[in-house]
Structure 1
Amino acid sequence: MRQVTTAAFTPKLITTLREGYSASAFRADAIAGLTVAVVALPLSMALAIASGASPDKGLITAVVAGFLISSLGGSRMQVGGPTGAFVVVVFNVIAQHGYDGLLIATLLAGLILIAAGAARLGQMIKYIPHPVVTGFTAGIAVIIASSQVKDFLGLSVENVPADFLPKWQAYFGAVQSIDGATVAVGAGALAIIVGLRRLAPRLPGFLIAVIVASLLVAIFKLPVDTIGSRFPDIPAGLPVPSLPTISIAKIGEVLPSAFTIAFLAGIEALLSAVVADGMAGTRHRSNQELIGQGVANLGSALFGGLPATGAIARTATNIRAGARTPVAGILHAVFVLLFVLFATDLMAFVPMAALAAILFMVAWGMSEYERFLALLRMPNSDRAVLLLTFGLTVLVDLTVAIGVGVTLASLLFMARMAETVEVDASGKRDTELDSEDIHQRDDLPAGVEVFRITGPFFFGVAGELLDTLRRMGQSPKVIILRMRLVPLLDASGAQALEEFVAQARIAGATVILSGAQPQPMAMLRRVHLDGNSDGIFFADDFSQAQALALDLCGETASGTPEKLGPVA
């Protein structure tokens, strides 16, 4: 038990170094770290400005928090720094309590995250319903995009309101002040980013767009707003770590914001770690990840930075660039630090419209429009949770949106569970259940694995299915999922099944769903898992599934099982 406990709270950096670290691994990590740093440079500046801070605060966060998240976190590939999820909260905290108030809130959030990790609350993310997560991330995306309209169009608006509807009223009131040169710069930067993503996705589109826009503004002396004109006194290098002025009254004022920051940091970090596991075949340590995130937020606040968490896009870039260990994330922070130390003056030439174009793309990525549209095809209950969370995020408050969304999802789940209860007054035993005893594996052919899922498959247990696949280590040729005892499948469960089939297909395994009831089948149709297709088959009962598995193994007998990837 002690060994298990120690392993659960061991940073992945230590684990990977104990396994042995070669020169080839360092080269791969260095290339990946440089690639991510190129992406993080303009993005960190843009996110800081959108949050109501100066661009150097974003770079400080990328350096300090990025280093600590990779050094102390529980994920092999996680890359941390400022993210779009914090923009709304940080902007409001700075507006209400000043920058010192934000630093205190970030310090408190760091302590909350460390306490959550130590209390083993890392698994709590699986109880956040999928429609709630999609709803508030899409809402944040809309808010971020709306906040950049002024800089993209060059509008003459002195004080842009913070609330969504008044903000757009101000924009429409100033529509006659649109500046053609600013629009041309912003549209050009946006076109470069979109074009490179389609034609040359490996190139750093954000950085190239910023460089081209800056050169055009400097060469043609275009009268557009730049970082230098808006922030003329940007300091070079890292500041000396220090504590803000803390008082009991100030702590009380910012404590609700601190909990919101901690919640967002924990949710996004663990979601990013799950994405990384799916891409790289690894398995993160959720509680240690929370502790690493907490220490990173403490460090960022001490250096005057912003709240930080795991960044899904940068983590995915890290994996695609060939990263092997957390050293890649550490080197990303080192490369950003070199820019902060020796090239801060170059920030002054960056047009604000180009940064607005970057944030438009960030918002588009956060929106997850395909997933949003897929959830709109779900039953009315899931659709209601999604739209309500989205609407409250945009129009009211992020904390209210999450609280109401989770509460509504829980109430609707209890209502759906009540509908699945049946009362049988006959007194007869279910002989069909008796026949499906513990000997379900006795007649399985070699290369076939079987699992029986019992009870409602909802957002609270959906992640267990993917964890089961990763724990197997060696992929079989066929996986039978017996679902006759599953009366209910919600949107999160359907999404988990879809991801399970995709991961099994990557590992060379075919999935057979046996005996699915009408409600789960209806949900599966909504995610287009409704017929025999590549990687998945359906069987009416277990006997039919066994026969189908035998046929499939006969067709693939020459193959050898493929590894699912490291699980350490």
Structure 2
Amino acid sequence: MFNLISKKTGYSIKNDVLSGLTVALALVPEAVAFAFVARVDPLVGLYAAFMVGLITSIFGGRPGMISGATGAMAVVMVALVAEHGVQYLFAAVLLTGVIQMLAGVFKLGMFIRMVPYPVMLGFVNGLAIVIFLAQLGQFKIVDEAGMHQWMQGTTLYWMIGMVALTMLIIHFLPKLTRVIPASLAAILIVTGLVIGLDIPIPNVIDYVRSESGNPNATIAAGLPTFAIPSVPFDLATLKIILPYSLILAAVGLIESLLTMTLIDEITETRGNGNRECLGQGLANFTNGFFGGMGGCAMIGQSMINIKSGGRGRLSGISAAIALLLFILVGSSWIEMVPLAALVGLMFMVVLGTFEWASLRMITKVQKSEIFIIVLVSGITVIADLAIAVVIGVIVSALVFAWKGAKRIFAESHVDENGSKVYLLSGPVFFGSIQNFQDIFSPRTDPEDVIVDFLNARVYDHSAIEALDSLAERYERNGKKLHYRHLSPECKQLLTKAGDLVELNLIEDPDYKVADSTLG
């Protein structure tokens, strides 16, 4: 069922375990950072990264994809935590899990396949920019007054140097050997150099303490414990948490399913969107009972995993277990890892995630597609991923409707009976009805007119109304109008022009019309 080990080429236990260890190292500062964004204790973020990562790796629909606490969901949680406290957050995360599991049960994951390619490009580019901007915060230190200031002097130069060294190792080591993932080797080498040479740059524990304001803060802790959220289970609580849960569920599923689609393309395999909905939902449901802030797929860590050779479920499981071991027994080692190594790793993720080909497409594709890519990327950076994708899909649909509206046309001729025949081609729907109506000239046409829909289709109620309206225009001018080759449903829906439809049971097409009247 779980396919932890696969015999397919590219899968191996060694690659999955080592890749998982690399991912776990990168997960620590990310989980802590997102916990601070949500204004909760760092352990709430670390526990979430462990539980979400473990459960989705086992039960999710995309082997090799890494999930954990994410910024996209953290920003939604801020207002809830500030106004009602962390216990309401746990209740909201629990309800989020239920909603996501229902999405899987009703097979809503398949709809992510309908996201247009320009929206996907905008999503990927936007997240790459977000990841890049998030790393810039690591170049700040806390001064004596407790204010964040940009690094200067020797500290800045060493930081830049170690970041560059990390990136160079990750880039060139695979050309020499693939025995150990380049990302893991880079972290170990740079950590050894910083400790051995006593280089004055901040490490993981420096970051945790500066962000928390607690000079004694640590990532060491015990196992997460079961506890029912301390909130009244009544309608008042539901009224508070439901809006947040709906948004969290939507953001989580959109980011997870789009990340899954990206990994599908990179690995040339196919994940199961509905199963991913169930896995994400189960993970968040569990978080609600074990003190985690919930989460979803992480494109940055997923890319690290894939680039490091992780392909199977074991890679995600290894990352989650390694993260738990860091919390339980290995915190003193992980706290020594310099931020420069992790920043360099994430910069390489940015370079690998951004679709540079989209820049070369500017002069080769339609302007509407470039606009959608830029729009989705921009909204992802300045607002929210879910909003960006929804707006991108809406704009894409409108562009498609506009293009479809211009594809309707007609060829006309006078037949042997003296009737003018319009042979219509193209879709008749809400976007094309104006162009449809402009085709006809009721005042100048002859006494008998035939509109032939052999090469056209009527799609919705707006189109039906346009057919009725056209019939009225010809009737006012004392002309006879006939509709030919319409489907039975069209005739059923036409209230004023129904008697004008010529029936031909052999030639007439049979297709459905989107209209609430028919149920």
Q: TM-score, normalised by structure 1?
A: 0.59
Q: What one-letter code is carried by the residue in structure 1 that aligns with 2:115?
A: I
Match of 1:108 in 2: 95
The CA distance in 2 between the partners of 1:206 and 1:254, in whole Å, is 40
Match of 1:543 in 2: none
Match of 2:467 in 1: none
Following superposition of structure 1 onto structure 2, how do residues 118-517 of structure 1 map, counting pairs within 5 Å?
118-154=105-141, 156=143, 178-201=151-174, 202=178, 203-221=180-198, 223-229=200-206, 230-231=208-209, 232-246=217-231, 252-253=239-240, 255-278=242-265, 282-312=269-299, 326-371=313-358, 374=361, 377-426=364-413
The CA distance in 1 between the partners of 2:361 and 2:79, in whole Å, is 32
The CA distance in 2 between the partners of 1:108 and 1:395, in whole Å, is 28
The answer (yes or no) to whether the contact 1:277–1:283 under 8 Å persists in 2 is: yes
The CA distance in 2 between the partners of 1:238 and 1:71, in whole Å, is 19
Match of 1:36 in 2: 19
The answer (yes or no) to whether the contact 2:163–2:340 under 8 Å persists in 1 is: no
**Any idea what SS the aligned residue of 1:75 has?**
coil
**Any idea what SS the aligned residue of 1:154 has?**
strand
Deviates more, 1:288-297 or 1:95-104: 95-104
Shift of 1:48: 1.6
The CA distance in 1 between the partners of 2:355 and 2:118, in whole Å, is 12
Q: What one-letter code is carried by the residue in structure 2 that aligns with 1:383?
A: I
Q: What one-letter code is carried by the residue in structure 2 that aligns with 1:117?
A: G
Shift in CA distance, 157/73, structure 1 to aligned 2, threshold 3 Å: farther
The answer (yes or no) to whether the contact 1:69–1:80 under 8 Å persists in 2 is: yes
**Any idea what SS the aligned residue of 1:42 has?**
helix
**Any idea what SS the aligned residue of 1:236 has?**
coil
The CA distance in 1 between the partners of 2:286 and 2:102, in whole Å, is 16
Q: What one-letter code is carried by the residue in structure 2 that aligns with 1:187?
A: I
The CA distance in 1 between the partners of 2:72 and 2:279, in whole Å, is 18
Match of 2:423 in 1: none
C-alpha deviations, 1:29-61, integer Å up to 9, x for none?
531331222221222112223324366555433
The answer (yes or no) to whether the contact 1:51–1:87 under 8 Å persists in 2 is: yes
Shift in CA distance, 285/149, structure 1 to aligned 2, threshold 3 Å: closer
Shift of 1:297: 1.9
The CA distance in 1 between the partners of 2:183 and 2:119, in whole Å, is 30
The CA distance in 2 between the partners of 1:37 and 1:224, in whole Å, is 26
The CA distance in 1 between the partners of 2:383 and 2:268, in whole Å, is 39
Shift in CA distance, 75/145, structure 1 to aligned 2, threshold 3 Å: closer
C-alpha deviations, 1:380-399, integer Å up to 9, x for none?
22222222233333334444
- Unpaired runs of 5+ in structure 1? 1-11, 161-170, 429-453, 456-484, 486-568
Q: What one-letter code is carried by the residue in structure 1 that aligns with 2:166?
A: I
Larger gyration radius, structure 1 or structure 2? 2
The CA distance in 1 between the partners of 2:165 and 2:382, in whole Å, is 32
Shift in CA distance, 368/298, structure 1 to aligned 2, threshold 3 Å: farther
**Any idea what SS the aligned residue of 1:339 has?**
helix
C-alpha deviations, 1:226-273, integer Å up to 9, x for none?
432433233333221324333565654554443343233323333344
Match of 1:437 in 2: none
The answer (yes or no) to whether the contact 2:170–2:186 under 8 Å persists in 1 is: no
Shift of 1:427: 8.8
Q: What one-letter code is carried by the residue in structure 2 that aligns with 1:388?
A: L
The CA distance in 2 between the partners of 1:366 and 1:93, in whole Å, is 32
Shift of 1:200: 1.5
Match of 2:474 in 1: none
**Any idea what SS the aligned residue of 1:423 has?**
strand
Q: What one-letter code is carried by the residue in structure 2 that aligns with 1:41?
A: A
**Any idea what SS the aligned residue of 1:424 has?**
strand
- The two structures, once aligned, show a CA RMSD in angstroms of 4.0
The CA distance in 1 between the partners of 2:299 and 2:337, in whole Å, is 25
Shift in CA distance, 219/95, structure 1 to aligned 2, threshold 3 Å: farther
Deviates more, 1:214-223 or 1:288-297: 214-223
The CA distance in 2 between the partners of 1:367 and 1:327, in whole Å, is 27
C-alpha deviations, 1:325-369, integer Å up to 9, x for none?
534533443344333332122233234454444444444444334
The CA distance in 2 between the partners of 1:364 and 1:275, in whole Å, is 15
The answer (yes or no) to whether the contact 1:32–1:318 under 8 Å persists in 2 is: no
Q: What one-letter code is carried by the residue in structure 2 that aligns with 1:401?
A: A
C-alpha deviations, 1:298-323, integer Å up to 9, x for none?
22343333433344565566567766
Shift in CA distance, 87/184, structure 1 to aligned 2, threshold 3 Å: farther
The number of aligned residues is: 400
Deviates more, 1:90-99 or 1:261-270: 90-99
The CA distance in 1 between the partners of 2:46 and 2:126, in whole Å, is 25
The answer (yes or no) to whether the contact 1:38–1:207 under 8 Å persists in 2 is: yes
The answer (yes or no) to whether the contact 2:181–2:308 under 8 Å persists in 1 is: no
The CA distance in 2 between the partners of 1:96 and 1:313, in whole Å, is 31
**Any idea what SS the aligned residue of 2:361 has?**
helix
Q: TM-score, normalised by structure 2?
A: 0.64
The CA distance in 1 between the partners of 2:62 and 2:309, in whole Å, is 15
Aligned mate of 1:48, from 3, 18, 31? 31
The CA distance in 1 between the partners of 2:240 and 2:154, in whole Å, is 43
Q: What one-letter code is carried by the residue in structure 2 that aligns with 1:44?
A: L
The answer (yes or no) to whether the contact 2:44–2:292 under 8 Å persists in 1 is: yes
Match of 2:57 in 1: 70
Deviates more, 1:204-213 or 1:63-72: 204-213
The answer (yes or no) to whether the contact 1:118–1:287 under 8 Å persists in 2 is: yes
The answer (yes or no) to whether the contact 2:23–2:304 under 8 Å persists in 1 is: no
Q: What one-letter code is carried by the residue in structure 2 that aligns with 1:110?
A: G
The CA distance in 2 between the partners of 1:236 and 1:421, in whole Å, is 67
